[in-house]
Chain A
Amino acid sequence: MLRVEHLQAGTLPPLTFEVAAGECLAIEGPSGAGKTLLLRAIADLDPAPGQVFLNGAERNEWRRYVRYCAAEPAWWSDAPREAFKGAASGRAERLLHALGLDAAVLDRAVAALSTGERQRLALARALLDEPLVLLLDEPTAALDPQAAALVEELIKYQTLAGRSAILVSHDRGQIERLAHARLLLSKPETASVAAAAAP
């Protein structure tokens, strides 16, 4: 599905790895190891040497099928509704429901929403038109255990449906529950892909 070839994000060494359909790759490492930089480079937000192929296609052809969720999601309108325009009927409501949110939240001011609500809304926004790959930067960092469990359920459901995910997380338990493989970024020169036990 997603193949990363000699991608060099920031000061990280060139990395090559693959995430198959239905697979979740976890990127681990201490703060400052370059996890977010790597995710941003895969999402093609920052210029970085190397290639990323989705089913053989080059980056500019797949940008609509790969969704990146920042750790601190940003919004471009006063209320989230704007970002959910054009979605298939009922899809937004179903996603919000799965994440424990009421549809009324779409019309509240973004500034008045809690960090956790904004984070879950951003995940729903990314899943609206069924992308093939999810790039998730600490998707449950701002959530209580109950909401985090709902998010994990949704991510799991996405991989079961054949989508791929790359997950940056500091939560060991979460990685064990969701990831099929791990990429450890400890020191830049020792980054490696290690197979994890199947969840």
Chain B
Amino acid sequence: MRTRPKQIDGRTNTLTKAKYIAINAFLIFHILAISCWCLPIDSPLVTLSKDRVRPYFLWSGLFQSWDMFSPIPKAANTYVEATIVYKDGSRTTWTFPRMEQLSLTERYFKERYRKYAENLPLDQNDALLPDAARYIARLNSTPTHPARTVMLIQKWSFIVPRADGSYIPEPWGQHILYGYGVKPEDLQ
């Protein structure tokens, strides 16, 4: 048993045999599990491993994905705005904080809104839309001037590469993400 840690440094003998085995099991499990979870490998064994460790990873917070700007970077400038129609028929537009319109300091504090607005239009996140509409309704209502409907709209402008590397902004397009009829209890 030359390989045990207690023999590596004769002065210290802190690890018991059981502790040594437990730590090794912990290390081997986590190295294999995190590798399977993170690396984009198409293999039934990796898929099976991911499925087996999923409950533990989701519970413990070890879930992770490392695909920043990949495999294909976002090819459009986008933002999300809301059109709010009030009970009296008037309307207003509210926009999620747009980083390019904020000061350097504000961008530090408001960057989470950029990420949220990026996630909001994704198909798999449809369930986020009613909450977002309710929040915007509360944000833009007063007891005397309550919102009646909220319409979430995504705007986009494609980034088209040009041979000389220059950039000319494309016209903005838009797409209605969601319409919500505000209920009185939403504003409480």
Physical interaction between A and B: no
